Structure 1
Amino acid sequence: MDNTQKKYDSIEKEYFHLQSVIESFDSKSLTIKAWSVSIAGAIAGSSAFTDNRMIILFASLVSLMFWLIEASWKTFQYAHYKRLWEIEAFMREKGGSIDNLQIGASWSSSYHSGGLKRLFRVMFWHHVMLPHGAMFSLLLLVYILLQYIL
């Protein structure tokens, strides 16, 4: 096996490892969603047993917190795509230049180039916004209605 073939094999292993890492983020994202709905729902439900309307506001803030956590998680995941796309372009061209074993350097470069702008953009992806954004908005609306209108 010559050096070129070894490099292709190494790049191919790196590609499939990145695919696995990216997919693992999705399962953890579902866990974040489950915790968000469970905790915010339990807090909001407990407000039925008291006259303190601040509990509903607190539940909406809990939803907001989980929304930010998931958006952060998705930006971590998104940072891996730069390297994945570099490898795909290299394999598609069957030539060119690419350094192997650069997952960390590529991730760091991609993650730090996005900043808060990327975080806020990711927050409004429909698969990130649901259920957190919907619960946050609904609970905040209920709080405002109960506090100021009803």
Structure 2
Amino acid sequence: MIEKTDRDSLLKDEYLHIQSVIESFDGRMLTIKAWSVSFSLAALGGAFAAHVAEVLLIASLSAFMFWLIEGFWKTFQYAHYNRSVKIEEYFAGTGEDLVPMQIGSSWLVQWKRGGRARLVRIMTWPHVYLPHGAVFALGILLYCLCVIGLITV
């Protein structure tokens, strides 16, 4: 049996590690957004420079793929929150007794719990949707306008 002071120390370390992991995801998501904007907007401009409307679809597809990647990253990040909250409740005296060093098993249970519905819901959040969803929609709109002859590339 683990002593309470040892358990508390391990849980504190676990909590601080989880918080660090959660924060590190935000930095990665900014990188994903930067890649998305760089490639997708360059492709939109490239469609007009090359006079090839189909490149608009490539720009839209790339924006969608970056959007999907960010959505998955967000599901990975959010799978850590449950364990973090449980540790906070434990230290506040309102939660159950916890076994330390359960990051992996807790994460897996939480990540599987949401399924595709959670991914779709997360992808509609404005801070996840932007800029990917906007570039995706713009590329599709511009392509449709080209097809019906309202604009030319």
Report TM bin, short chain: over 0.9
Change in Cα spacing, 1:100 to 1:142, as seen in structure 2 (3 Å) is same
The equivalent residue for 1:126 is: 126
Contact 2:89 2:95 in 1 (8 A): no
CA drift at 1:71: 0.2
The equivalent residue for 1:60 is: 60
Taking the aligned partners of 1:10 and 1:94, their CA distance within structure 2 comes to: 19
CA drift at 1:94: 6.8
CA deviation profile, 1:23-61 (whole Å, cap 9, x unmatched) = 000000000000000001111111122232000111011
Taking the aligned partners of 1:37 and 1:95, their CA distance within structure 2 comes to: 43
The equivalent residue for 1:10 is: 10
Query: What letter is aligned with 1:40?
Result: S
Taking the aligned partners of 1:37 and 1:45, their CA distance within structure 2 comes to: 12
Query: What letter is aligned with 2:29?
Result: S
Taking the aligned partners of 2:119 and 2:45, their CA distance within structure 1 comes to: 30
The equivalent residue for 2:41 is: 41
Question: What is the RMSD of the two structures over their aligned residues, measured on CA atoms?
Answer: 1.4
CA drift at 1:114: 0.8
Change in Cα spacing, 1:56 to 1:7, as seen in structure 2 (3 Å) is same
* 1:75 matched to 2:75: yes
The equivalent residue for 2:97 is: 97
CA deviation profile, 1:97-142 (whole Å, cap 9, x unmatched) = 1111000000000001111011000101111001001111111111
The equivalent residue for 2:20 is: 20
Q: Calculate percent identity across the aligned residue pairs.
A: 47
CA drift at 1:96: 3.8
Moved over 2 A (4+): none
Contact 2:44 2:56 in 1 (8 A): yes
Question: TM (normalized to structure 1)?
Answer: 0.95
Question: TM (normalized to structure 2)?
Answer: 0.93
Name the SS for the 1:35 alignment partner: helix
Change in Cα spacing, 1:45 to 1:97, as seen in structure 2 (3 Å) is same
Gaps of 5+ in 2: none
Change in Cα spacing, 1:95 to 1:139, as seen in structure 2 (3 Å) is closer
